[in-house]
Amino acid sequence: MYESIDDLYCYPGTTVLKNRRNLRTQAELDRFETAITAQRFNEPMPAGKLIEEHYRRVHRHIFRDVYAWAGEYRKKVRISKGDSTFCYPEHIPREMAKLFAGLRRDNSLQGLPAQEFARAAAAFLATLNAVHAFRDGNGRSQLAFMGLLANAAGHPLHLDRIIPDDFLAAMIKGFQGDEELLVEQIARLL
C-alpha cells in the first residue's frame, strides 16, 4: 500500500481512494477495480503516437470506470512505497515532458536490435516508474504502454511470461538506479 500525507484522493479518515462507485472499504474497491481493469485490458488500448498524452489516455482507458481522475497527473499528494519516494507532484509535468522528449529523440526505440531495445526500454520504464505520475494504477499503465511501445518497435512483449515477484524486484532495483535486472526481465518477455 502507498503511504501519503493529507491525501485528497482518499475518503476522509481512510486510505480508501475515492471512486465512482463510492465504495468505502479497500476490499470492495479492490474487487471492483480488479474486475473493471481486467475488462479494460481485454479491449484494445488507445491508438496513437507514443507521446505523453497517449500515456495519459492509456491510464484513462484502464481506470476511467473506477476513478474520476483517471488519466490526470497526481496533484499535491506526495507518495512513497516502502523506502521509495516518488516524484513530487509539482515536478511531474516537467519530468514527464523530459522523459517523453527523450523517447521522441530516440524514435520511440524503433530500429533497435532486441537487446538494445530491452536496455533502452528498461531505462525508460525505470524513469517512468520513478515519476509515478498517477495516484494509483502506475504499474498497470506502465506495462500497457510498454506493450504498445514494444509492438511499435517490432519487439512484441509476451506479458504472459511475467513472473510478478521477479518483475517487481527488477522494478525496485531500477528505481534504485540498477537497471540490469529490468533489462533481463524485459529481454525475457521479447
- Paired with 84 in beta bridges are 81
Q: What is the number of domains present in the chain?
A: 1
pLDDT for the residue 7:
87
CA 151 to chain centre: 17
Kindly report the pTM of this predicted structure. 0.93
pLDDT value of residue 5: 55
Look up the domain containing 71 and give its range: 3-189
Task: Write down the pLDDT at residue 2.
Answer: 52
Under 8 Å between Cβ of 22 and 14: no
Q: Where are the alpha helices (DSSP H) in the chain?
A: 26-41, 52-63, 92-105, 114-131, 138-152, 164-175, 180-189
What does the block give as the cell for 98? 523530459
Q: What tens digit of pLDDT does each residue of 112-127 get?
A: 999 999 999 999 999 9
Q: How many CB atoms lie within 10 A of CB 79?
A: 22
**Amino acid occupying residue 104:** R
- For residue range 167-189, list pLDDT tens digits in order: 999 999 999 999 999 999 999 99
**Residue ranges of the chain whose pLDDT lies below 50:** 1, 4
Q: In CATH, what number is assigned to the domain containing residue 108?
A: 1.10.3290.10
Instruction: For residue 38, list its beta bridge partners.
Output: none
CA distance 135 to 7: 10
Strand partners, 10: 17
